[in-house]
Chain A
Amino acid sequence: DAGVIQSPRHEVTEMGQEVTLRCKPISGHNSLFWYRQTMMRGLELLIYFNNNVPIDDSGMPEDRFSAKMPNASFSTLKIQPSEPRDSAVYFCASSLAGQGADGYTFGSGTRLTVV
């Protein structure tokens, strides 16, 4: 199993540009989570999906952030327009619902720098 795959690993963009982060969950997992990690705020849950449906997006900072999961094997997190304060490491994780949080597997993350 290739694990949770995120791309790109690193992204540097200018303020105001659109940024799209991508995630491929583990095959068979039906819950997907997007987290953001910063030194100041630690790990924050942004949004999670169950069976491709967004369940809780209360952690999404503002309307500039949006996430989609068009099918069971792909999700995107988009920031438009990006701002320097969005600089962080963004993690995607997946799990098999029904096993509580036991099957949480994280990707290696995307380090986003907005200049």
Chain B
Amino acid sequence: GNSVTQMEGPVTLSEEAFLTINCTYTATGYPSLFWYVQYPGEGLQLLLKATKADDKGSNKGFEATYRKETTSFHLEKGSVQVSDSAVYFCALPFSGSARQLTFGSGTQLTVLP
């Protein structure tokens, strides 16, 4: 099945710093790609998605571009805030048109004031 490899954490940044969390994938074809965020004590929430190559997903100042040449979907934000402290997960469908998602290991982000 498809798989993702995510940047090891934890990541600690100062407020207003630039954020990059790396995600690379292995997949058959060009499945949709996702970033989910998990705030402390909560379930995962969809942060953004891209459904085809060269698409850019964006939400809440976060962006990720679907790059088939490098099989990557890195998450970026130009200026992080303390409220962005959370765990971030890269994900894609398990295989083909599968409904179920497979997730990366998660990257813990802590933003210091």
Contact = CB atoms under 8 A, between A and B. Distances in A.
B57 to A, nearest CB: 11
Interface of B: 32, 34, 41-46, 49, 89, 91, 93-94, 97, 99-106
A48 B89 CA distance: 20
A45 B100 contact: yes
A57 to B, nearest CB: 11
B93 A108 contact: no
A85 B110 CA distance: 28
Nearest to A106: B43
A102 B46 CA distance: 9
- Number of chain A interface residues as a range: 20 to 34
Contacts of B105: 42
A95 B42 CA distance: 18
A48 B102 CA distance: 13
B22 to A, nearest CB: 16
Contacts of A50: 99
A42 B103 contact: yes
Given A100-B99, A104-B34, 10 more contacts: A33-B100, A56-B100, A91-B44, A95-B99, A100-B97, A101-B34, A101-B100, A101-B101, A102-B32, A107-B43
Given A31-B99, A33-B100, A56-B100, A101 B44 contact: no
B42 to A, nearest CB: 6
A97 interface: yes
B106 A97 contact: no
A4 interface: yes
B49 A102 contact: yes
Interface string A28-71: 00010100000000110100101000001000000000000000
A101 to B, nearest CB: 5
A106 B37 CA distance: 11
Contacts of B44: 43, 91, 93, 106
Contact of B45 (A97, A100, A106): A106
